[in-house]
């Protein structure tokens, strides 16, 4: 085969001088020509492996590799995948599976959700594409987390002609010698101790099409936070999966280990994932804000927020899906303990975020809701899908704006909370799974097959840590996430 394509702006390199792959598969940047380029590169560079991966129920990235030269074929056909893989828990124990040893699926990589990591000589050493799991007939598989998110986004589009702008905010802790010192919270000294790691993270993000926003030394011991610029819902979830991997790589390059475990020490603060969401109309114009409303939320955004707070107890098992997530979701940890909407309140599970400009258009674009009850034991696809379905249900039902809370809700009696229409969120994974199982909407939004698989997966995970002390559980999860 000769060189593919020709023309169309491509300046083909010498055969003995393969093109630089830097950024080749940066999210949303690959073109047909680039695929052809890869095909051609593959002829001289066939030892390169591309991993086709999914981010599964366990929040783990799993997949299979293939030679780079096969990319055009694999973009069509995918790699073979086994249904029961969905029941591999975070502890590698396989939970009860309705599929047993039967069945076959295709995991089809999407070049729009890819990353490449190079070694110091510039050679690509890790090349991954996230993708969708399809049936052999090409249909989205009922338990494919990424397809589940696509379905949720489509539902919002269908019922309200709305799209989303989303950003995931991540906290993590490092072990192996960075800022453990007391007095380092939010400090320059703390940031300085993590500066080299931060630079590596920003570099890896930029090279892979993720736009860094902030990096800082967070409050907890060895805890840092990284945020990125928003993107459309699917791209934002792809990037959340990618970011977690890039942070791990950046820490490892320095001999450290980054952990996104929901909480490392039962007596400490947790590592949250905060999901920022705003809504856009069919023309892409922001519609979350209404300067004349009391909360600043537009009517449709208020219904969306009400959907999230109303169904939060039912979806919590998808947002905070580990046994130790519930050690984090307790009052006074700046996480989320009640299904409330708060204005600039870091104890609220849904927070109306501050805006920083006097320019009305900029305010409209900035205005967003932050869902704080999430952690990185979950697949970002499932987290966002659950939030979108709940918010969309709020729009479908025409729910009115939730009451905005200002008080310390943990100081109120249950009756006072009930009078405000607020409840304490489930306090264990077991209780959250029961709420998930009992809520009729879960089957409607996600299908009965996924619901049952999810329940049995999570119950299988719980069985592994049953009887362990909180400290022992935290150690088990910290080893995974």
Q: Which residue is nearest to Mg ion (CB)?
A: 225
Q: How far is CA 273 from CA 170, 177, 321, in A?
A: 5, 24, 12
How would you classify the pairing of strands 49-55 and 369-374? unpaired
Residue 225 touching Mg ion (CB under 5 A) = yes
Q: Which two tokens stand for residue 81?
A: 């995948």
Residue 269 touching ligand GLU (CB under 6 A) = yes
Q: Which residue is nearest to ligand GLU (CB)?
A: 272
What one-character-per-residue DSSP string does 242-285 give? HHHHHHHHHHHHTT-EEE--SBSSTTS-B--EEEEEEEE-TTS-
Classify each residue of 279-318 as buried b or exposed e, where b means 16 or more C-beta atoms within 10 Å of its C-beta.
bbeeeeebbbbbeeeebbbbebbbbbbbbbbbbbbbbbbb
CB of 67 or CB of 266, closer to ligand GLU = 266
Residue of the chain from 63, 230, 270, 313 that contacts ligand GLU (CB under 6 A): 270
Q: To the nearest whole angstrom, how small is the minimum distance from the Cβ of residue 337 to Mg ion?
A: 16
Residue of the chain from 68, 171, 347, 370 that contacts ligand GLU (CB under 6 A): 171
Q: Which of 19, 64, 15, 63 is nearest to 38 (CA)?
A: 19
Q: To the nearest whole angstrom, how small is the minimum distance from the Cβ of residue 271 to ligand GLU?
A: 6
Cβ(116)–Cβ(22) under 8 Å? yes
Q: Which of Mg ion, ligand GLU, none sits in contact with 328, Cβ below 5 to 8 A by type?
A: ligand GLU
Q: To the nearest whole angstrom, how small is the minimum distance from the Cβ of residue 176 to ligand GLU?
A: 21
Cβ(140)–Cβ(132) under 8 Å? yes
Whole-angstrom Cα distance, residue 446 to residue 389?
9
CB of 132 or CB of 225, closer to Mg ion = 225
Cβ(317)–Cβ(432) under 8 Å? yes
Residue 347 touching Mg ion (CB under 5 A) = no
Residue 453 touching ligand GLU (CB under 6 A) = no
Please report, as residue ranges, which positions from 299 to 338 form the binding site for ligand GLU (by CB under 6 A).
328, 333-335
The neighbouring-strand residues paired with 291 are none
Q: Which of Mg ion, ligand GLU, none sits in contact with 334, Cβ below 5 to 8 A by type?
A: ligand GLU
CB of 27 or CB of 270, closer to ligand GLU = 270
What H or E segment, with its residue span, contains residue 116? strand 105-118
Residue 213 touching ligand GLU (CB under 6 A) = no
CB of 372 or CB of 476, closer to ligand GLU = 372
Binding site for ligand GLU (CB under 6 A): 171, 269-270, 272, 328, 333-335, 346, 372
């Amino acid at each position: 085969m000769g060189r593919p394509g020709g023309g169309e702006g491509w300046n083909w390199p010498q055969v003995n001088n393969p093109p630089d792959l830097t950024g080749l598969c940066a999210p949303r940047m690959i073109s047909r020509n680039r695929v052809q380029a890869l095909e051609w590169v593959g002829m001289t560079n066939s030892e390169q492996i591309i991993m086709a991966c999914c981010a599964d129920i366990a929040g783990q990235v799993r997949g299979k590799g293939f030679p780079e030269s096969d990319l055009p074929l694999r973009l069509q056909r995918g790699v073979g995948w086994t249904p029961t893989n969905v029941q591999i828990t975070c502890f590698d124990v396989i939970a009860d599976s309705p599929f047993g040893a039967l069945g076959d699926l295709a995991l089809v990589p999407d070049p729009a959700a890819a990353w490449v990591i190079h070694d110091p000589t510039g050679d690509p050493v890790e090349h991954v594409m996230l993708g969708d799991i399809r049936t052999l007939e090409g249909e989205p598989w009922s338990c494919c987390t990424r397809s589940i998110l696509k379905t949720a986004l489509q539902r919002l589009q269908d019922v309200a002609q709305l799209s989303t702008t989303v950003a995931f905010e991540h906290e993590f802790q490092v072990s192996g010698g960075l800022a453990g010192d007391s007095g380092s919270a939010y400090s320059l000294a703390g940031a300085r101790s993590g500066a080299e790691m931060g630079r590596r993270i920003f570099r890896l993000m930029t090279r892979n099409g993720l736009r860094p926003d902030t990096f800082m030394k967070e409050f907890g011991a060895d805890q840092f936070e990284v945020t990125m610029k928003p993107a459309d819902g699917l791209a934002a979830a792809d990037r959340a999966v990618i970011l977690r991997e890039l942070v791990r790589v950046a820490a490892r390059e320095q001999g450290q280990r980054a952990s996104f475990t929901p909480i490392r020490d039962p007596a400490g603060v947790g590592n949250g994932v905060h999901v920022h969401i705003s809504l856009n109309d069919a023309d892409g114009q922001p519609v979350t804000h209404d300067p004349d409303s009391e909360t600043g939320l537009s009517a449709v955004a208020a219904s969306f927020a009400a959907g999230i707070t109303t169904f939060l107890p039912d979806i919590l098992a998808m947002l905070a899906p580990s046994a130790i997530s519930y050690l984090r979701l307790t009052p006074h940890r700046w996480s989320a303990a009640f299904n409330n909407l708060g204005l600039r309140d870091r104890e609220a599970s849904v927070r109306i975020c501050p805006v920083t400009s006097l320019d009305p258009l900029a305010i409209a674009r900035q205005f967003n809701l932050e869902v704080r009850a999430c952690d990185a034991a979950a697949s970002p696809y499932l987290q966002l899908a659950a939030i979108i379905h709940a918010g969309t249900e709020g729009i479908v039902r025409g729910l009115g704006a939730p009451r905005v809370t200002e008080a310390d809700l943990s100081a109120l009696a249950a009756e006072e909370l009930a009078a405000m229409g607020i409840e304490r969120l489930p306090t264990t994974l077991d209780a959250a799974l029961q709420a998930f199982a009992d809520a009729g909407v879960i089957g409607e939004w996600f299908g009965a097959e996924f619901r049952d698989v999810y329940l049995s997966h999570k119950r299988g995970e719980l069985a592994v840590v049953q009887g362990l002390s909180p400290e022992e559980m935290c150690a088990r999860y910290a080893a995974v996430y």
